[in-house]
């Protein structure tokens, strides 16, 4: 499958006489990407004619950058995996992942992951893309995820993630009634000794900061909104458990499954700057049914 893609611009008056190299640098195409284009099957065209990066642009020129095609991994198979498409353009997807779906294949989940479902979606809609997931969610966590459709878009979104310009808000339901209506948990997190999966608050861990705000309280649980400053593995689960309020359903970190059979955690809001569209985008996904049922006064 030909998985190449291209970007195209019309040169404006104020860009007259710019070198192609300087122009694409402003568009955040790196030297590494240009090297990839030069040696691995891409191209740079001005008015449909091949040029080098030293070419001077003129007002009205049509500049096209064609990136090398991307290959899909031979082991990544298409599976019909349910997810809702919240937003889509030629560069990215925003999806609402249901619970119980791993983001990517692993030793324990070779098939039936979101990545397998994306390949099925791409094949069904004849989309020449491979897998570039920007923000992963745990298997049992539901909600919004950003997926890039090509390597260049993925690099732009990854840069935003590193500089904390992709904003995510979570909602959770925890055991017990929280005494403070809002607060910040700032405790380092590291891998728990003798465990591949489990994390814990520990002095020699990585810095981790979680802000929370109480949305609603019940006799034995609390509905909270959470914003992360850092993105450590299991951060929300570990932090809330460390202050005595593990997530409902989260047996790994002290919760129980009497009312819900997975951790009650949902990625509810996602916002980012779409550099390729030069537009700020914001999305929201309502709580799934199992978490809504937890908020019923009778539960």
In order of 39, 166, 256, the CA distances from 105 in angstroms are 31, 24, 27
For the segment 212-223, what is each residue's pLDDT rounded down to a tens digit?
999 999 999 999
From the candidates 43, 79, 138, 140, which is the catalytic residue?
138
| All structural domains of the chain with their residue ranges | 6-66, 71-163, 169-266
In order of 90, 166, 167, 245, 297, the CA distances from 162 in angstroms are 23, 9, 11, 29, 40
Does the active-site annotation cover 290? no
Question: What is the second-level CATH architecture of the domain 6-66?
Answer: Roll (3.10)
Question: What is the second-level CATH architecture of the domain 71-163?
Answer: 2-Layer Sandwich (3.30)
**pTM beyond cutoff 0.85:** yes
Q: Which helix (H) or strand (E) holds 84?
A: strand 84-88
For the segment 274-296, what is each residue's pLDDT rounded down to a tens digit?
999 999 999 999 999 999 999 98
Splitting the chain (299 residues) into consecutive groups of 10 residues, what average pLDDT does each group show? Answer: 78 96 94 90 95 96 93 85 95 96 85 94 91 94 96 92 92 96 97 91 95 96 96 95 97 94 97 94 97 83
For the segment 97-112, what is each residue's pLDDT rounded down to a tens digit?
999 999 988 877 788 9
Per-residue pLDDT, 154: 94
Rounded to the nearest angstrom, the gap between the alpha carbon of residue 284 and the centroid of all alpha carbons in its chain is: 14
Q: Are domains 6-66 and 71-163 of this chain identical in fold?
A: no
Assigned CATH topology for domain 169-266: Pseudouridine synthase (3.30.2350)
């Amino acid at each position: 499958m030909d998985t190449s893609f291209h970007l195209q611009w019309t040169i404006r008056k104020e860009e007259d006489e710019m070198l192609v190299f300087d122009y694409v640098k402003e568009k955040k195409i790196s030297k590494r990407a240009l090297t990839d284009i030069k040696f691995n099957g891409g191209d740079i065209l001005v008015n449909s004619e091949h040029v080098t990066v030293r070419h001077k642009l003129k007002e009205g020129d049509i500049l096209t950058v064609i990136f090398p095609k991307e290959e899909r991994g031979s082991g990544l198979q298409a599976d019909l995996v349910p997810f809702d498409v919240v937003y889509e353009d030629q560069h990215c997807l925003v999806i609402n992942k249901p619970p119980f779906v791993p983001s990517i294949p692993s030793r324990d989940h070779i098939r039936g992951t979101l990545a397998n479902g994306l390949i099925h979606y791409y094949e069904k809609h004849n989309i020449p893309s491979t897998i570039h997931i920007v923000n992963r969610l745990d298997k049992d966590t539901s909600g919004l995820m950003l997926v890039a459709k090509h390597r260049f878009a993925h690099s732009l979104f990854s840069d935003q993630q590193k500089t904390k310009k992709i904003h995510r808000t979570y909602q959770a339901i925890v055991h017990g009634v929280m005494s403070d209506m809002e607060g910040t948990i700032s405790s380092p997190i590291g891998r728990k000794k003798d465990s591949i999966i489990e994390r814990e608050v520990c002095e020699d861990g990585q810095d981790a900061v979680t802000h929370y705000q109480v949305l609603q309280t019940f006799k034995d649980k609390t509905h909270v909104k959470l914003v992360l400053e850092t993105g450590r593995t299991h951060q929300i689960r570990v932090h809330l458990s460390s202050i005595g309020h593990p997530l409902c359903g989260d047996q790994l970190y002290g919760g129980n499954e009497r009312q819900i059979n997975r951790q009650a955690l949902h990625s509810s809001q996602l916002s980012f700057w779409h550099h390729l569209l030069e537009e700020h985008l914001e999305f929201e996904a309502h709580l799934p049914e199992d978490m809504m049922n937890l908020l019923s006064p009778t539960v």
